[in-house]
Structure formats: C-alpha cells, structure tokens
C-alpha cells in the first residue's frame, strides 16, 4: 500500500512569517497537530507540531522567539510512492506523530500515526466481522503452509496472517478468518501437533 493512498492530501500549510499564535489557532480550528512550513510554490521549509508551538507561545511574548525558532528545519519526510511500512518504521523509530509527504521538494501531503494505524487495521481486516486463531508455528520447514492448509480444509477463510516479531522462540502466527466457528479448526490443528494459543469466533 502506497503512502499516497493513505496520506492527507493538500494539507493546510503556513509560511515562516506566520505568528506562533496564528499557527496554534489554525491547528485548533482544524483539529490538527502538525503543519508544514512552506515557501512560495509549496516548497518545504520546515515542520511544526502543536506541542512545540504551545511550549514556545509564552517565550514568544517575552522575547524575540518566532515560528522559525520552533520549527523542525530538517524534518523526517517520505515520498508519496513509498510503501506505508516505510512511514510506520520511521514514526516508530523516531517517536514522532507525523511527517510531511514530499515530491520534488514540494509538500503534497501529511502522514500521521493515526493514518498508519488505520491502514494496518484495514490490511488486517480488524474492523470487519471476523474470527481469529493464534497458533504456535515452529521452525519446521512448511509448518506455516501446513497450518494454513488445515485451516482451509476445515472451512476457514483466511483474511490475513500476522506473526509476532517479539516472540521468535514461539513463532506465534495470528490467523484472522472470515467469521466462523473455530472449535473444529482448533481441534484439527491440535491433532496435527500445533499448539493453539487462542481461538475466537
């Protein structure tokens, strides 16, 4: 899934001449937490967050503090044709809430942690009526394929498969299925030696 399909297109932007108070008012009015700072032609100059602006509001009233002092001048950014996983890794690694999407140095969108969460929820089919079976899949060659065949043979329609990255010793696979009764699937998996951690109709 490409970032351009999930990003906020044509985002609200500000210039370096915008006051801190104006930027905060703009964010609050539009219920947003990030603003790209651009020059004429939408060329990216920086990025500001609501938290940073609020922190700088009082100092700006007492001293010569402007928007350019608070903005991130070299923000982390992504290309609209990058995969959504690229944005997810960057947001997780740098602990940021969002970033500008830039093409040829011009701002074309914003991608936020909420957009990424929505993308993964869509990909995993979490909001659709579904069932789930969590299975310990070992190191044996073909074990995943075998588990999938058992599920299929018992009438389970697999929507998505995910694996925990933090439990390498147990290799738990999470099978999300179209809504069904999972008792027979669980029984068939266990008969073939698989450990079923959880099964939810």
Domain boundaries, the chain: 3-120, 125-200
pLDDT at 127: 72
Query: Could you tell me which CATH class the domain 3-120 is placed in?
Result: alpha beta
Distance CA 137, CA 171 (A): 5
Give the domain 125-200 fold: Alpha-Beta Plaits (3.30.70)
Cβ neighbours of residue 70 under 8 Å, at least 6 residues apart? 20, 48, 52, 53, 55, 56
pLDDT at 124: 72
For residue 70, what are the CA distances in angstroms to 40, 47, 53? Answer: 20, 9, 7
pLDDT at 3: 94
Outline where DSSP puts E strands in the chain: 8-9, 34-38, 44-49, 98-103, 106-112, 130-136, 158-163, 172-178, 195-200
pLDDT at 168: 58
Distance CA 56, CA 70 (A): 7
Strand 44-49 with 8-9, pairing = unpaired
Distance CA 74, CA 82 (A): 19
Handedness of CA 2, 5, 10, 14 (dihedral sign): negative
pLDDT at 65: 79
Dihedral over alpha carbons 132, 135, 140, 141 (to 10 degrees): 0
Query: What residues of the chain score a pLDDT lower than 70?
Result: 58-62, 165-169
pLDDT at 44: 96
pLDDT in tens, 113-162: 999 988 888 777 777 778 999 999 877 778 899 999 999 999 999 988 88
CA-nearest of 61, 68, 79, 84 to 14 is 68
């Amino acid at each position: 899934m490409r970032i351009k399909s999930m990003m906020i297109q044509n985002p609200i932007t500000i210039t370096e001449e915008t006051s801190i108070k104006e930027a905060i008012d703009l964010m609050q009015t539009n219920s947003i937490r990030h603003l790209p700072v651009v020059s004429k032609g939408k060329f990216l100059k920086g990025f500001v967050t609501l938290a940073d602006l609020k922190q700088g509001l009082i100092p700006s009233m007492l001293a010569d503090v402007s928007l350019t002092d608070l903005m991130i001048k070299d923000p982390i950014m992504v290309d609209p044709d990058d995969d959504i996983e690229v944005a997810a890794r960057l947001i997780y690694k740098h602990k940021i809430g969002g970033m500008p999407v830039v093409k040829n140095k011009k701002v074309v969108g914003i991608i936020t942690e909420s957009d990424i969460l929505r993308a993964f929820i869509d990909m995993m089919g979490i909001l659709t009526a579904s069932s789930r079976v969590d299975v310990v899949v070992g190191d044996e060659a073909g074990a995943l394929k075998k588990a999938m065949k058992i599920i299929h043979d018992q009438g389970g329609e697999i929507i998505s498969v995910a694996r925990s990255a933090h439990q390498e010793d147990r290799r738990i696979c999470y099978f999300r299925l179209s809504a069904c009764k999972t008792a027979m699937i669980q029984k068939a998996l266990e008969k073939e030696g698989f450990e079923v951690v959880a099964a939810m109709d």
